[in-house]
Structure 1
């Protein structure tokens, strides 16, 4: 049940605001409502669903203002992070980043949306981890979890095709020691993703829950 709901979210099959009724999920999965509640509680801790008092669980439905606030935070954090990293990365770290981008490109070509989204987020986590700052890494991880869900809810796989190329451009700028170029590419990258997401915040094409989860 957990894998199915997570997969449907990251594949963009569950639309924003969709109610996830305990009774319906119990019927779809042949599970008890107690089991359903445990799964929904785990998904809430991961920021994948919202639990509303006396109303149940829902797929998050962020507003344009919510999306803008989170991406503003990412621009502030990741721009500063790259300025620090540009003079600190060694050859081994640069090779690791390049290898990661290669995996992103392979997942995208294979059409594996869930893996593409996971790897795209992991790229930003790797950059932060290379600074060795646990507080910064934990903060960025929370922001990434929010924006990964935004992408899954509102952006199609075809529209996100530029992400691996933009990540490669960031790595190449870091390899040249060009901090300003790396920051500029990162900010453009985040601007483009935010713009694509906010253009689709009113889309409403929900399918039947049983049909969605049967695929998983």
Structure 2
């Protein structure tokens, strides 16, 4: 009888490939959860359950856990021991503190960049604003919010300071979330126009004071809209609570 064919032993998976696959899964899950946060559809205090996310995204709970921890370290989620991850529910004072820090940092950024941007850097900024405008026109709210924050990160990169970039990334990750939670889509659409004004002030503005005024007014207006939206939502929640959640009609509020 002919001898039985020998079975070729299975080749062990390459550790490099396994690590690459894990990294791809992590980034896919991170992008999906980030996009959900920036959509504005997840309201403050919403729990993000590992099992539900793993099933929805077709991955392991371990992958979800790593991503939730990463988002927690970025202050984009609140992690509570033995309870899980939640969409942040920041106080108005917390939000004011973050915007105060952004004004201080970005005033220094404008001072550094005023009159010092190269032609290539200006072209890159204008191209970025065009991408923002396209996202708003196409109704891609979460992409538009992300791009609006990235405009300020691009400015920070042009200051050529890793420490500054690292710090402003954390501030912007907070304010992106505030914008998603509390800013109206209609009001947020003005970001590209305001960013274009900042470019003009940095490149053709008559004085540093004018450039600072333009940049800080942009942040002031955003803060005011976000705070107004947060205050209105808290008032609606209180009205619902006091009325037992039965047929309560919240008052309209201007944002």
Q: What range describes the TM-score normalised by the shorter chain of this pair?
A: 0.7 to 0.9
| 1:4 Cα deviation from its structure 2 partner | 3.5
Which of 29, 34, 44 matches 2:72?
44
Q: Residues 26 and 170 from structure 1, CA distance in 2 versus in 1: closer, same or farther, beyond 3 angstroms?
A: closer
Give per-residue Cα distances to partners, 1:87-107, cap 9 Å, x unaligned.
211222112111111111111
The structure number with the bigger radius of gyration is: 2
CA distance in 2, matches of 1:176, 1:4: 40
Q: Which of structures 1 and 2 has the larger relative contact order (alpha carbons within 8 angstroms, sep 6+)?
A: 1
Q: TM-score, normalised by structure 2?
A: 0.74
Which of 117, 122, 126 matches 1:94?
122
Which of 111, 128, 142 matches 2:170?
142
Structure 1 partner of 2:15? none
Structure 2 partner of 1:185? 214
Structure 1 partner of 2:20? none
**Secondary structure of 2:85 counterpart:** strand
**Secondary structure of 2:89 counterpart:** coil
Structure 2 partner of 1:174? 202
| 1:33 Cα deviation from its structure 2 partner | 4.0
Q: Is the 8 A contact 2:115 2:203 kept in 1?
A: no
Flag structure 1 segments of 5+ consecutive residues without an equivalent. 207-216
Structure 2 partner of 1:201? 230
**Secondary structure of 2:79 counterpart:** strand
Alignment of 1:124-135 (within 5 A): 124-135=152-163
CA distance in 2, matches of 1:31, 1:128: 35
Equivalent pairs counted in the alignment come to 206
Which of 113, 116, 119 matches 2:141?
113
**Secondary structure of 1:51 counterpart:** strand
CA distance in 2, matches of 1:156, 1:66: 20
Alignment of 1:55-94 (within 5 A): 55-94=83-122
Flag structure 2 segments of 5+ consecutive residues without an equivalent. 1-28, 238-255
| 1:31 Cα deviation from its structure 2 partner | 5.6
Q: Residues 142 and 109 from structure 1, CA distance in 2 versus in 1: closer, same or farther, beyond 3 angstroms?
A: same
User: Cα RMSD between the aligned structures?
Assistant: 2.2
Structure 2 partner of 1:213? none
Q: Residues 111 and 133 from structure 1, CA distance in 2 versus in 1: closer, same or farther, beyond 3 angstroms?
A: same
